[in-house]
Amino acid sequence: MLTYVAKRLSQSLLTIFLTVSTVFVLIRMAPGDPAYALAGPLASTGDLEKIRTSMGLNEPLFTQYGIFLKELAAGNIGKSYSFQAPALDVVLGRLPNTIFLAVLAILLAIVVAIPLGVWMAKRADTKRELGVNVLTIAGQSMPDFWIGIMLLTLFAVVFPIFPSSGFTSWSGVVLPVATIAILQIALVSRMVRREVGSNLAAPYLTVARARGTGEQKLTWAYAMRNSSIPILTTLGTRFAGMLNGVVVVEVVFNWPGLGSLVVRALETRDYPLIQATVLVTSVLAVGVQLLIDLCYPLLDPRVRLGKVSVA
Amino acid sequence: MSTINEIPLAAQAMKRPTAVTKQLLKRSSAARRERSAKVKMVLGAFLTAIVVLPIVLAQVLPLPDVDAQNITSRFLPPLSGGHLFGTDQLGRDILSRVLHGGQVSLTIGVLAVVISGVVGVVLGALAGFFGGWVDAVVSRLIEAQLSLPLLMMLLLVVALFGPSIPVITFVIAIAQWPEPARLTRSLVLVEREKPYVQAAKVLGLPQITTLVKHIIPNVINQVIVVVLLLLATAVLMESALSFLGAGPQRPFATWGRIISDGQDFLTTSWWIVTLPGAVIAILVVGVNLLADGLRDRVRRRKETTA
């Protein structure tokens, strides 16, 4: 148990360390002067000189890295020049809106995808299942921003049921959440189908059936319980991918989260802001995954006793 | 497929009574799986072809010029004035823009997928075969990358290095290598334990020869299917990047930008956004279906021969 926790924790730290280092290397490798990139187009020579000394750009690269890490540890990522405020504060201010969307979408996805996936596993390869199967493939194939625009046109313009943008009322949440959830439902239900399907075909289930266990119990208490760990693992890794989708969908709906922020940062070449977004979203994704990883032992006693290693 | 048809014929030839009828065989789960794999493959190949062929032939087809603007024929609806998909806010032919944009997207997608496939197979095979510290490094890297929301990082790269086609291709390739690497690693781990690897060792074959000439050919089919699936993701990723403004810049018409530009005219001219998006969706659905069907088939073949 302890070794398991230590292992997950060290992997998370390693991931964060790699992210931070990559950001450092990228900014130093980019063409042009990093001080110029970080100060923005309006900076004076004095500003540039100040940034150069504060980032230690005249020092050897190794020392620069040390300074970079130290600044980072102090929460100092730089000043966003389009907001004229510390980049980290700007990003953290927007973060709750993004998390809110992500959480609602994942809840909706779980509620729909698990029963759907179980149904698909039980009816595998029948005509009706094939139809649903193709639909889920379609669901994971449509560009998420396009689904968003289509839903927006249908339900905010043609039939004005929901507001078209922003976070003004609860009904404004419906369309963005639905957009994000469509992709997740498609992906998660296919995964549930695969996992539950292989458990339904396992010999232990035949034995249980032969002993007269009811179908409902076979499905939910046996097959689903045994599928829950791989499903949870994948949900953990998928969270990062979902954040990508949330960011794109936010742009479509003018949602005041990280998405519109990052697009604005891109347009104004606001590097500190993008850098802050990279770091904050990475920490968030890694944190969520760590949390899920730490839940395994509750579901699987083998992990608790250190008998099996979960990759 | 052939074995299913042959069994009842052989049974008839021997004039042996059998309770296994053709109908029963048709209803068996193996036959049903085979059928759904086939439906997926045929449908997938068809959908892919109707998008890819026109894109490849875009230069040959009688289409209006991509950038020819015509202020008098702005916002023409589909099927009017010789514009199959209509025209956009500058009077440009949308079909032509979609097909030329498709050339950019497909080029980026195919190149990126080839790079990430090669990198993934090499690193995954090394990790699976040699184990030890090589495996530790590769596995930690894979895990780290899979748990990151990479889109922001990609946007940072594009912002720093400029949105040129090589940069975007590279960025997508880097985003995708873990998938084939993980699969190759796990397949090689299984393959490594098989007797023929022992035999090669006894015969004195260098390890690297065993890996390249004997192990990799045995796993490559399954990996290629996954790489095909990655092509679908690569096309989606490219369109998302250009939607966010980090795609190849003008003069290239890209799918994501056609859609993001058309967004402002949504209420009056639905086709500018709807049709290009539908083309992306059809292509990606096609590739996904094809790969999914192929995967079912490759897996089954592996199971029956193993």
User: How far off is chain B from A187, nearest CA to CA, in Å?
Assistant: 12
Lowest-confidence range among A56-70, A256-270, B122-136, B212-226?
A: A56-70
3-state percent helix, strand, coil for chain B, nearest multiple of 5: 75, 0, 25
pLDDT of B47 higher than 70:
yes
Q: What is the C-alpha separation between B112 and B117, in angstroms, rounded? A: 8
Residue B162 region, left (φ>0) first, then alpha (ψ -120 to 50), else beta?
A: left
- Which chain A residue lies closest to B145 (C-alpha atoms)? A15
Which DSSP letter does residue B21 get? -
Cβ atoms of A272 and A38 within 8 Å: the answer is yes
- Which chain A residue lies closest to B232 (C-alpha atoms)? A141
Lowest-confidence range among A289-293, B175-179, B186-190?
A: A289-293
CB proximity B69 to A under 8 Å: no
User: How far off is chain B from A285, nearest CA to CA, in Å?
Assistant: 6
- Which helix (H) or strand (E) covers residue A85, if one does? strand A85-86
CB proximity B232 to A under 8 Å: yes
Lowest-confidence range among A249-253, B63-67, B168-172?
A: B63-67
Q: Which chain A residues contact residue B149 at CB under 8 A?
A: 240-241, 243-244, 247, 281-282, 284-285
Q: Which chain A residues contact residue B146 at CB under 8 A?
A: 237, 240
Assembly ipTM: 0.84
Q: Which chain B residues contact residue A247 at CB under 8 A?
A: 149, 151-152
CB proximity B284 to A under 8 Å: yes
What is chain A's alpha carbon radius of gyration, rounded to the nearest angstrom? 24
> What are the start-end ranges of the H helices in B131-194?
132-146, 150-161, 165-176, 178-192
Sequence-distant (6+) residues with CB within 8 A of A154 are none
CB contacts < 8 A (A, B)? 167
Instruction: Write out residues 238-267 of B within 8 Å (CB-CB) of A.
Output: 239-240, 243-246, 256, 259-260, 263, 266-267
Q: What is the C-alpha separation between A136 and A141, in angstroms, rounded? A: 9
Cβ atoms of A163 and B273 within 8 Å: the answer is no
- Look at B157 and A26 and tell me if their CB atoms are within 8 Å: yes
User: How far off is chain A from B157, nearest CA to CA, in Å?
Assistant: 7
The tokens describing A226, both together, are 């045994």
| Intra-chain end-to-end CA distance of chain A, in Å | 15
| pTM (two decimals) | 0.85
Sequence-distant (6+) residues with CB within 8 A of B40 are A130, A133, A134, B289, B290, B292, B293, B296
- Look at A266 and B259 and tell me if their CB atoms are within 8 Å: no
Q: What is the C-alpha separation between A204 and A222, in angstroms, rounded? A: 9
Q: What is the C-alpha separation between A3 and B122, in angstroms, rounded? A: 31
B40 compared with B304, residue with greater pLDDT: B40
CB proximity A7 to B under 8 Å: no
- Backbone φ and ψ for B70, nearest 5 degrees, come out as -145, 105
Q: Given this model, what pLDDT does residue A237 score?
A: 77
């499905």: which residue's tokens? A219
Band of pLDDT at residue A1, cut at 50, 70 and 90: confident
Band of pLDDT at residue A262, cut at 50, 70 and 90: confident
User: How far off is chain A from B166, nearest CA to CA, in Å?
Assistant: 15
Domains observed in chain A: 16-73 (no CATH), 88-304 (1.10.3720.10)
Q: Which chain A residues contact residue B288 at CB under 8 A?
A: 137, 140-141
Q: What is the C-alpha separation between A112 and B225, in angstroms, rounded? A: 29
Q: Given this model, what pLDDT does residue B106 score?
A: 92
To the nearest whole number, what is the mean pLDDT of chain A? Answer: 84
For the packed helices B150-161 and A2-29, what is the interaxial angle rounded to 10 degrees?
20
Q: What is the C-alpha separation between A161 and B42, in angstroms, rounded? A: 39
b (16+ CB within 10 A) / e for B131-145:
eeeebeebbebbbbb
Q: What is the C-alpha separation between B293 and A48, in angstroms, rounded? A: 57
Q: What is the C-alpha separation between B44 and B287, in angstroms, rounded? A: 6
> Which of B34, B147, B294 is the best substitution to test chain A (most A C-beta atoms within 10 A)?
B147
- Look at B288 and A141 and tell me if their CB atoms are within 8 Å: yes
The tokens describing A46, both together, are 């004095």
Q: What is the C-alpha separation between A132 and A142, in angstroms, rounded? A: 16
Give just the sign of the alpha carbon dihedral B243, B249, B250, B253.
negative
B214-244 confidence digits (pLDDT tens): 999 989 988 998 899 899 999 999 999 999 8
Q: Given this model, what pLDDT does residue B96 score?
A: 84
Per-residue CA distances from A259 to A49, A99, A103, A169, B243 (Å): 32, 12, 16, 19, 12
Long-range contacts of B75-79 (CB under 8 A, 24+ apart): B75/B265, B75/B268, B75/B269, B77/B269, B77/B271, B78/B271, B78/B275
- Look at B156 and A278 and tell me if their CB atoms are within 8 Å: yes
Sequence-distant (6+) residues with CB within 8 A of A211 are none
Please compute the mean of the pLDDT values over residues A123-151 and round it to a whole number: 88
Tell me how far the alpha carbon of residue B30 is from its chain's centroid: 26
CB proximity B140 to A under 8 Å: yes
Partnered with residue B93 across adjacent β-strands are B87
Lowest-confidence range among A57-71, A152-166, B25-39, B40-54?
A: A152-166
> Which of A19, A125, A150 is the best substitution to test chain B (most B C-beta atoms within 10 A)?
A125
Q: Is A203 helix (H, G, I), strand (E, B) or coil?
A: helix
- Residue B153, class by beta-carbon neighbours within 10 Å (0-12 exposed, 13-18 middle, 19+ buried)? buried
Q: What is the DSSP string of A295-306?
A: HHHHH-HHHHTT
Q: Which chain A residues contact residue B142 at CB under 8 A?
A: none
Closest CA to A121 of A219, A2, A245: A219
Q: Is A219 helix (H, G, I), strand (E, B) or coil?
A: helix
- Look at B159 and A157 and tell me if their CB atoms are within 8 Å: no
The beta-carbon neighbor of A149 closest among B161, B245, B263 is B263
Cβ atoms of A193 and A124 within 8 Å: the answer is yes
Please compute the mean of the pLDDT values over residues A37-48 and round it to a whole number: 73
> Which of B40, B151, B287 is the best substitution to test chain A (most A C-beta atoms within 10 A)?
B151
Instruction: Write out residues 16-45 of A within 8 Å (CB-CB) of B.
Output: 18-19, 22-23, 26-27, 29-31, 37
- Backbone φ and ψ for A42, nearest 5 degrees, come out as -95, 5
The tokens describing A231, both together, are 């499903």
